[in-house]
Chains A and B, each alone.
Chain A
Amino acid sequence: MNHKKYKEWIQLFLYDELTQQEAEELNNHLNECNECSAEFEKQKRFISALKNSSLPEADQNLLSEARREFNAALRVEKSKKSTFSFPQINLAEFFFSPLRIAFSGAAVLAVGVIIGFLLFNKQNEIVIPLVEEENSLASLDDRTQIMNLRFIDQDPSDGEIEFTVDAIKPVHIKGKVNDPGIQNILTYSILYEQNPGIRLSAINLIKTNGGQNTDEEIRTALITVAKYDTNLGVRREALKLLRSFPFDSEVREALLYILLNDENSAMRIEAITSLKEISEKGNGFNQDEISAFRENFKKEENNYVKFQMKTVLQENLKNEQ
């Protein structure tokens, strides 16, 4: 008798992976075989015991954080192709080569590279000594933070080993708030900085640039932050600042996304108010927006937002008639 086969089938049966015919064959065997019948009970108890365990679930907070960090990484990925192509620094390898490099480390380095670039462009000032070249020990000092050590060769038999590290060195920067370089650093900070207070300050500093905000990078960063930042205050300030930019289709899509997805009613109010403003200036609401309002009207919990959606839908209905 092939007990091994039936013992395996027991597992498959409990996972609903047997065909009807196989299940019947197993059932017949279990009726006759005490050993396999006992195994069946054991496996059932095992599966049932596993049900009492709860492996971690991806909650909304984690998902939001993952999305925000991914969007930041994506922006680096895109800018890597378009903006940075200096012969001195191989950013393609530098940023994303091994999976094990946590993005946080790379993000901090990215800021370093940008700062280095900005300073480098001023010709007579310092260049950040990023440790990416071989034999860079001389450039390290006691202010340098070392992290993410990655061995390339850890075999000491020939007397040498080889590895890379991420080295971060503090840099003092002073400049005009509307300097494009400063604005660029602030933009990166609102995407990468871990501390929400700093992200908020960076947004406020970008804001002091007033009506001169036409930079595409800043606008895209603000859209990302307004949609995905985990901190409400940061999202809200980003959204407010976004309103000082020309309303184009991307901003409009972002507003709709916030209206439909943000858990905070103040954000949704801000979003629908802005959308109404845009529609009044332009050609009204587009079909996607109307469909989204129709689908989400019942789900909306905030009375003000609900009322605004209802008004839009009623006006749309009138126009159609």
Chain B
Amino acid sequence: MTLSDTELINKAQNGDESAFSELVCRYDRNVLSIALKYVNDRDDAKDIYQEVFLRVFRGLKKFQFKSEFSTWLYRITTNVCLTFIRSGRKNTMMKIDNEMDTDIIDNMAETDDANSPDNLFLRSEVTNNVNKGLEKLSPKQKMIFILKHFEGYKIREISVMLNSSEGTIKKYLFEANHKLRSHLSELYV
């Protein structure tokens, strides 16, 4: 029988470690996914994951069900991401010096086989450019764009996660969209 979040939290608050583990396992893939997309570095993403769930562990006893557990968790996740400072170990962002060749873009639309070597190369080029574009955004713009575009959250959900109004989230989203579009203009013109 699957226990609800509330039941698991109640158990975890009373010291049931397996309930806490189950709660973590229920959401940790999403947390890791957001972190990984945000920092684009596997080690840094693990650091964020760890900090998020340590904060959950420390704060769970005081959790009073004033919001959904998932809302609280994602709020912690976005906060940790936004305040994250790279450990300095490494930065896996690939630096591409050459500008995108417009031929590549033309070819991209015409290639059918998504897994062909050519298309995989193109995809990797596009990804590198998108990553470079994302790095130009402010932390909040980047987080909101990732949550909206790559993770598919609704604006209402993001506003709860980031404790901001929907209007503010839209403003950041429009700004991020504008900056990214300028950076990636060769991709769609």
Query: A residues touching B (Cβ–Cβ < 8 Å)?
Result: 8, 11-12, 15, 17, 42-43, 45-50, 52-58, 62-63, 65-67, 69-70, 73-74, 77, 96, 99-100, 102-103, 148, 250, 253, 288, 291
CB distance from A79 to the nearest CB of B (A): 13
In this assembly, does B74 line the interface, its C-beta being within 8 Å of a C-beta of chain A?
A: no
In this assembly, does B75 line the interface, its C-beta being within 8 Å of a C-beta of chain A?
A: no
Q: Contacts A42-B188, A53-B130, A70-B53 hold; do A15 and B85 have CB atoms under 8 A apart?
A: no
> Across the interface, which residues of B come within 8 angstroms of A100, CB to CB?
84-87
* Beta-carbon contact of A291 and B1 below 8 Å: yes
* Alpha-carbon separation in the docked complex, A160 to B53 (Å): 37
* Alpha-carbon separation in the docked complex, A256 to B94 (Å): 42
Residue in B18, B33, B47 whose CB lies within 8 Å of A103: B47
Q: List 20 A-B contacts (CB under 8 A).
A: A8-B170, A12-B155, A45-B187, A46-B177, A46-B181, A46-B184, A49-B105, A50-B149, A52-B187, A53-B129, A55-B146, A55-B150, A58-B45, A66-B28, A66-B32, A66-B46, A67-B24, A77-B57, A99-B80, A253-B18
CB distance from B83 to the nearest CB of A (A): 7
* Beta-carbon contact of B50 and A8 below 8 Å: no
* Beta-carbon contact of B126 and A99 below 8 Å: no
* Alpha-carbon separation in the docked complex, A11 to B84 (Å): 29
CB distance from A68 to the nearest CB of B (A): 10
In this assembly, does B71 line the interface, its C-beta being within 8 Å of a C-beta of chain A?
A: no
* Beta-carbon contact of A70 and B37 below 8 Å: no
Query: B residues touching A (Cβ–Cβ < 8 Å)?
Result: 1, 17-18, 24-25, 28-29, 32-33, 36-37, 40, 42-43, 45-47, 49-51, 53-54, 57-58, 80, 83-87, 89, 105, 108, 122-123, 126-127, 129-131, 146, 148-150, 154-155, 170, 173-174, 177, 180-181, 184, 187-189
Q: Contacts A55-B130, A66-B45 hold; do A49 and B87 have CB atoms under 8 A apart?
A: no
From A46, A66, A148, name the one whose CB has the most chain B CB atoms within 10 angstroms. Answer: A66
* Beta-carbon contact of B83 and A49 below 8 Å: no
* Beta-carbon contact of B46 and A57 below 8 Å: no
* Beta-carbon contact of A62 and B85 below 8 Å: no
* Alpha-carbon separation in the docked complex, A46 to B123 (Å): 15
* Beta-carbon contact of B188 and A63 below 8 Å: no
From A11, A50, A69, A288, name the one whose CB has the most chain B CB atoms within 10 angstroms. Answer: A50
